Amino acid sequence: MTTSYLSSASNPGLQGHYAGVVTRAVSFGIDILLIVGGFALGGTVAEYVLSALFGGDVRLAEAPLVSALLLAAWAVFYMAYPLSVAGRTLGMGIVGVRAVRADGRDLDQRHAVVRVLVLPLSFLLFCFGFVLIVLRRDRRALHDLIAGTVVVYAWDARAARLRFLLKR
């Protein structure tokens, strides 16, 4: 099964095709923002509750190791849980992509957790793991290769195109 270059205008039915690097980068950026924003909000609430329970002024910034561990745990939970349940994070859902197994089957819990745990490896060597998305024909990053997953378009581009034409 081969295809020509991606183009929403010439080939609107992209559901199930390998997602490109720009879309994946946007979804990853959204996820990072949500992870950081959610951690900041949750940290503020936790500081308030802990201060009320134990008295004094509890600040997570004064315990950087604990904060880093909490942030890592929150990030793993944020990405692994929705991936194992729906095959996509919130950012992936917004841009319209989802992760599946290499042969196209749905992700199970093991593949989802492994994919999230090995994700930091793609940042090594100047993010070489992510450069693979551009270099490989199947657009798999390093963590995709290790976890046996791929990322595909999951939105009905053809229907979106028809909606756009109807409104003109």
Q: Which is nearer to other proteins, 60 or 132 (CB)?
A: 132
Residue 18 sits in the site that holds other proteins (CB under 8 A): yes
Judged by CB under 8 A, the residue of 46, 76, 102, 117 near other proteins is 102
Using CB under 8 A as the binding rule, whether residue 135 contacts other proteins is answered as yes
**Tokens (6 digits) for 129:** 């793991």
Q: And the tokens for 136?
A: 């490989």
Phi, psi of 68 (to 5 degrees): -65, -40
Nearest approach in angstroms of CB 89 to other proteins is: 16
CB of 142 to other proteins, least distance (A): 17
Contact between 4 and other proteins per CB under 8 A: yes
Question: How big is the site for other proteins, counted in residues (CB under 8 A)?
Answer: 44
State how far the Cα of 117 lies from the Cα of 80, in Å rounded to an integer.
Answer: 9
CA-to-CA dists, residue 30 to 25, 40, 89, angstroms: 9, 15, 10
Spatial separation of the C-alpha atoms in residues 30 and 93, rounded to whole Å: 10
Contact residue for other proteins among 82, 87, 91, 96 (CB under 8 A): 96
Decide: residue 85, CB within 10 A, 0-12 exposed, 13-18 middle, 19+ buried: exposed
User: Which parts of 27-86 interact with other proteins (CB under 8 A)?
Assistant: none
Query: Does 114 interact with other proteins (rule: CB under 8 A)?
Result: no
- Nearer to other proteins by Cβ, of 52 and 166: the residue is 166
Instruction: Report the C-alpha gap between 161 and 157 in whole angstroms.
Output: 6
Coil, strand or helix at 49: helix
- Decide if residue 150 touches other proteins (CB under 8 A): yes
Site residues, other proteins (CB under 8 A):
1-9, 14-23, 26, 94-96, 100-105, 134-135, 137-139, 150, 152-153, 155, 157, 160-161, 163-164, 167
